A and B are shown apart, each in its own frame.
Chain A
Amino acid sequence: MLLAIVVAVAVYQKNKAVAPTDGEEKSAGLGVFSSSADCTRLPQFLGRLKIPQPVLIDLSQKRFTGIALHYGQNYEETLHPEVWGKYEHFGTYALNEQGDIYLSPTPFISVRPTTFDLQKNIYKLDSKTGALSVFMRFDDVHPSASNPYGVISLAYDCEDQTLWVSAIDETDYQSAKGVIYHIAPDAKKILQSVQGFDALTILPLRTGKGKFLLAGSARDNALYAIAITAGVLSSPPRKLLELPATNERIRKIRITGNNQLELQAISFSYTLLAQSTSRDRTYYDATWDATSSEWKMEKRE
C-alpha cells in the first residue's frame, strides 16, 4: 500500500514537473503582487556634480554610445564622458542600494573586431567615482557571426542583494541554450546557472504565492515565470501570457502597480538590432485580473 502511494505521488510529481507550460493553467499560481519598495538609488556622483534629479538613464544608443544621463528641464542637459562609450553599446541596466549601475552589453547595428568579446562581460558604473569598468567576465559565453549576442540582460534583486543575469550566446535556430545566472556581486561569484531558456529580459518578483523570476523569451512572444525557492531557481519556465503579435519579443518588464506590468516589446530574431527609435518599440500594459484569473493586455498607443 505504502509503495502504491509512493508510486502515485512520484508519477504525479513527475508529470507536474514536465507538464506543458502553457494552456489552461498558464496564469494560475503566480498570485497577486504590487510594486514593492525600491531599494535602489541613483549614483552618488550626481550629488557631487550638483546634477538635479530626476535623471534619465539613456541606453537607446541613438545619440550616445554606451550610457548617458540626461537631466534638467525636459532632460536637455546630458552627462556623457567619452569613456562611458569605450565598451560600445549597453542594452539593460540595474541599480543597487549604493547607486552603482550594472550594465549588460548588446551588439548594435555593426560588428567590429571587439564586439563579440565585449558581449562576455557585465559592466559597472561606480556610484562614487563614475568610473566605468568590466565588473565580471563570463568565459563560457561565446558570441559568433551566427549569433552575435552574449550577456543580454540583468536585474538587481533587492531581497538578497544579488544579480540575475541572462545570456543567449550558444543558442541556435534548433534549440534554446540560453543561460540564467544568479550572481553574488560582493564575491563576484556565480551562485547558480540554469541552461535551456533564452531570456531577453528578467525581473525578480515577490507575489502572494512566493517569489518568481519573470522572463521575456527571446524565442517567442511570451512572458514566463520561474519559481525561486530559497534563492534558487526551482521550476521550469511557465508561460504567463502572450503578446498579440507573433514577431514581438518582451525586452523590458516594469512593475507599474498592483498586479500590473509594463512590457516593452521589440522585434528580435538574433540578428543585429537596428537603431532604437520609439516607433520600433511597442508598450503593453498587462494586468492580472484575480477575479477572472486571466491577464488583460492593452497596447499603448
Chain B
Amino acid sequence: MSKEAKTSIAILVAGLLLIALYWFAPEKTAQKKQASITVEEKIILPKNAPEVYQDIPEVQSYKKDIREMVNRGEAVLPLQGRELDDGAQKTQEILLKDQEFLKDTMQDGQILHNDMMRILPAIVSALDADAKQVCQPHACYQAEKYNFVTNVTTRAIVDVRNARVLSVQRYQNMQPDISLRLARIARAIALNAPEVKQELGAKPSVTDVSMANVRGALQESPCENSAHLCVAPVFADHSRERALWAIVDLTELKLVAAKWTRLGKTTTPARISERSLQNRYIMENYCQKNTILERNGWKLSYRLTGSDGLEVIDVSYQGKPVLTSAKIVDWHVSYQQEGAGQLDTTTETYMEGRRVEFVQVGDGSYFFGYNDAMGCPMFSTSVVLPFNAPQIRKLDNGFVLMQDYRNPKWPMACNYRYENRFEFYDDGSFRVAGVNIGRGCGDNALYRPVMRIDMALGDREKFYTYEGEWKQWKQERMGRTKDASLHEESKYLYKIASATDSRRGYYIEPNKGQPHDESRGDNARIFATRFKPEEGDQDLLTLGSCCDLENDGVERYLEDNESIDGENIVLWYVPRVQNDAREGHEYCWADTAIDASGNLVVKEWPCVVGPKFVPIK
C-alpha cells in the first residue's frame, strides 16, 4: 500500500471517529436553550387583596353604573354611544325591550348583572336559511350580551328595518368578545396591578399595553375554570424580546395571574389559563422546594406536601428549636342519616369526585362521607387543591402563614374549602389551626381535621395532662378535651416539655371558644405517640375511616402501647366540629347570594379549630 493510500485511510478513520464523537456528544446547546426559556417564563400570582383595584376610576365608574342600572330595575348595561353606529343603536333599543332576549336576566325575582358586549352588522353567510332570506335585502345586526352570574352568552339577530328579533340563542359557559369599555377596564386593572408594576419596574403607560388576545369568537375563559369572564392584556418589552401577560378577571375586577414569555410567534401563548399558571407556580415554588421565612424572632421553613397540606418544618423562636414539623394530614367528613336498613352498598357511590364510605351505627342510622386529602396541584393523591400560593399576613401581635385549599366548584354543594393556618405570636406562642369554610353536602356535617405536631424539645420529651396537678403520660394513649374540667390557669390542659429541662416546653391550650373568632370549641381527641418515621414523618395517604366516629385513624399507632416517657413524642390533635346552616347561626358554611349590583357574592362562615401552644415560663 502506498504512503498516500495509508494517509488517506488514516484521515478517513480519524474523520469517522470524529463523526462518531460528534454524533454521540450531549446536546449542550439545546439544554442551554431550554434553561433560558424556563427562566423567561416566570409566573406571578397576586399577593394583594382585590380591594386594591376598587379605587381605579374606570372600575368605580363601571360599578356605579351597574348599581344605578339595578336600582332602575334594569338588568343589561347597554353599550355606550360611541361603540354603536345608527343600526347598532337601534338594535340595542329593540333588544333591551325584547322579552326573549331578557328572559335570563332575573332569578327568583332578583336582577342579574348582564352587559351588552358588542353589536355589529350580521355576517349573512353565518346565518341560518330563514335569517339569510330576511337579511340579504335588509340590514341585520348581531348582538351579544353576557350574564355574569350564570356565565351564559346570549346572541341575537335583529332585522333593524322591520324592528324584529329574528333569533335568540344562549351559549352556556361561554364568554363573548368584550366591549370597548370592559377592554379599557381590563387595561386599567393590569396597569394598576402592584404585581405588574413590580415586574415592569415602573408604572406602565396605557401605550405599553395591548389587548392582542381579546377573543373574536365565543371561547372558554382562561380563569376560574372558565366560569368567569377573563381577558389577558399583554405588555411587550421589545428591547428584551419578552412580554408580560396579565390575566384579568372581569367578573371580580381583579388581576388573577401574570406570566412572562418570550416574544415571537412560537412562544406567544395562544391561550393561557389561570389554573395552569397557578399549578406551575405552586409546583415550582412550594412543592419542589422549601421556603424559608424569618419574622418577629421566628425562623421556619414551609412547603406544600403531596397529600398532607401545608407543612411547617424546623421552626425556631429566638434561635431555640420549637417544632420539627406540623401539618394537617386529613379532613374526615361524615354525615349522619336515618334508614340504615335500606342502605344499598353493593355498588360504589361517588359524590363530586369522592368515593363515599358508609358506616352503620347501632341505632338504625348510618354515617357516610369521605376523607379529604389536601396537597400539591400536580403529582399528588390529593382531592382538594391549593388555591393561589401560601400567604403571610400580619396579626396584631404576630403573623400567620396560611394556605387556602378548595374544590374547583366551591361553594357549590359537596365542594369544600379548607385553610391550613399557622399563627406565630411575638411572645413565642403559636397556634396550629384548621379552618373549614363549608359548604359540604348538607347541614349535618361533622368535620375532623387530623393534625400531626412533632415538637423539637430535644430527643427526649415528656407529656402531661392537668388533673388538678400535672400527671405524666407514660405510655402512648388518647385523651379527650371535653372530658376535662380542670385547667391550669383556667386555660392549659396539656403540656409537653423536655425530659432534661422541664422549663423548656409548652402548655397546650385547646380551643373552648376563647380565641374571639366565634368558634365553638375543638371537642378534640389528643394522641401522644412515640416518633416513628413511617407514622407520618413523610406524606401520609388518607388515614383511617371518615365515618367511624370511634376511630380517628391515629389509633393504629397506639396498638403497641409503647412507652413515651422521655421519648421523641408526636402529638396528634383531632378536633370535631359540626357545621350549622341555620340562618343567623351559620358555622363551617358558605352560601351564595345576589348583591345590590346583581352580581353573585359568596358569603362565608368559617369555623376555626386547633390548639395554641404557650411557652412555659
Q: Interface segment, A45-53, A59-67, A117-125? A: A59-67
Closest Cβ–Cβ distance, residue A242 to chain B (whole Å): 7
Contact with A along B329-372 (1 / 0, CB 8 A): 00000000000000000011010111100000000000000110
Closest Cβ–Cβ distance, residue A142 to chain B (whole Å): 14
Q: Interface segment, B86-94, B373-381, B459-467? A: B373-381
| Given A18-B30, A110-B370, A145 contacting B307 (CB threshold 8 A) | yes
Which residues does chain B contribute within 8 Å of A109, judged by CB atoms? Answer: 350, 353-355, 383
Q: How far is the CA of A148 from the CA of B382 in the complex (A)?
A: 10
What's the interface size class on B, roughly? 35 or more
Q: Interface segment, B8-16, B46-54, B468-476, B497-505? A: B8-16
Residues 371-398 of B contacting A (Cβ, < 8 Å): 371, 375, 377-383, 385
Tell me, yes or no, whether B542 is within 8 Å of chain A by CB: yes
Tell me, yes or no, whether A258 is within 8 Å of chain B by CB: no
* Partner of A247 from B273, B347, B382, B542 at Cβ < 8 Å: B273
B11, A3: Cβ atoms under 8 Å? Answer: yes
A275, B350: Cβ atoms under 8 Å? Answer: yes
Tell me, yes or no, whether B271 is within 8 Å of chain A by CB: yes
Which residues does chain A contribute within 8 Å of B375, judged by CB atoms? Answer: 271
Closest Cβ–Cβ distance, residue B382 to chain A (whole Å): 6
B355, A110: Cβ atoms under 8 Å? Answer: yes
Q: How far is the CA of A14 from the CA of B20 in the complex (A)?
A: 11
Residues 228-281 of A contacting B (Cβ, < 8 Å): 242, 244-247, 269-272, 274-275
B350, A148: Cβ atoms under 8 Å? Answer: no
Tell me, yes or no, whether B266 is within 8 Å of chain A by CB: yes
Tell me, yes or no, whether B541 is within 8 Å of chain A by CB: yes
Q: How far is the CA of A164 from the CA of B284 in the complex (A)?
A: 33
B381, A271: Cβ atoms under 8 Å? Answer: yes
Residues 278-297 of B contacting A (Cβ, < 8 Å): 279, 283-284, 287-288
Closest Cβ–Cβ distance, residue A271 to chain B (whole Å): 5
Tell me, yes or no, whether A56 is within 8 Å of chain B by CB: no
Q: How far is the CA of A62 from the CA of B352 in the complex (A)?
A: 11
Closest to B220 in A: A245
B272, A246: Cβ atoms under 8 Å? Answer: yes
B273, A274: Cβ atoms under 8 Å? Answer: no
Tell me, yes or no, whether B27 is within 8 Å of chain A by CB: yes
| Given A7-B15, A173-B287, A14 contacting B22 (CB threshold 8 A) | yes
B220, A62: Cβ atoms under 8 Å? Answer: no
| Given A3-B12, A110-B355, A173-B283, A271 contacting B273 (CB threshold 8 A) | no
Which residues does chain B contribute within 8 Å of A35, judged by CB atoms? Answer: none
B379, A6: Cβ atoms under 8 Å? Answer: no
Closest Cβ–Cβ distance, residue B484 to chain A (whole Å): 35
Q: How far is the CA of A245 from the CA of B273 in the complex (A)?
A: 8
Closest to A82 in B: B346
Which residues does chain B contribute within 8 Å of A111, judged by CB atoms? Answer: 381, 541-542
Q: How far is the CA of A18 from the CA of B284 in the complex (A)?
A: 27
| Given A10-B22, A110-B370, A246 contacting B273 (CB threshold 8 A) | yes
Tell me, yes or no, whether A207 is within 8 Å of chain B by CB: no
Given contacts A145-B541, A245-B271, A271-B377, 12 further A-B contacts (CB under 8 A): A6-B19, A11-B22, A14-B22, A62-B350, A65-B347, A110-B355, A145-B381, A246-B269, A247-B275, A247-B276, A271-B382, A275-B352
Selected A-B contacts with CB under 8 Å, 6 pairs: A10-B22, A65-B348, A110-B370, A145-B380, A269-B377, A270-B380
Residues in A lying within 8 Å of B, measured CB to CB: 2-3, 6-7, 10-11, 14, 18, 22-23, 62-65, 107, 109-111, 145-148, 172-174, 242, 244-247, 269-272, 274-275
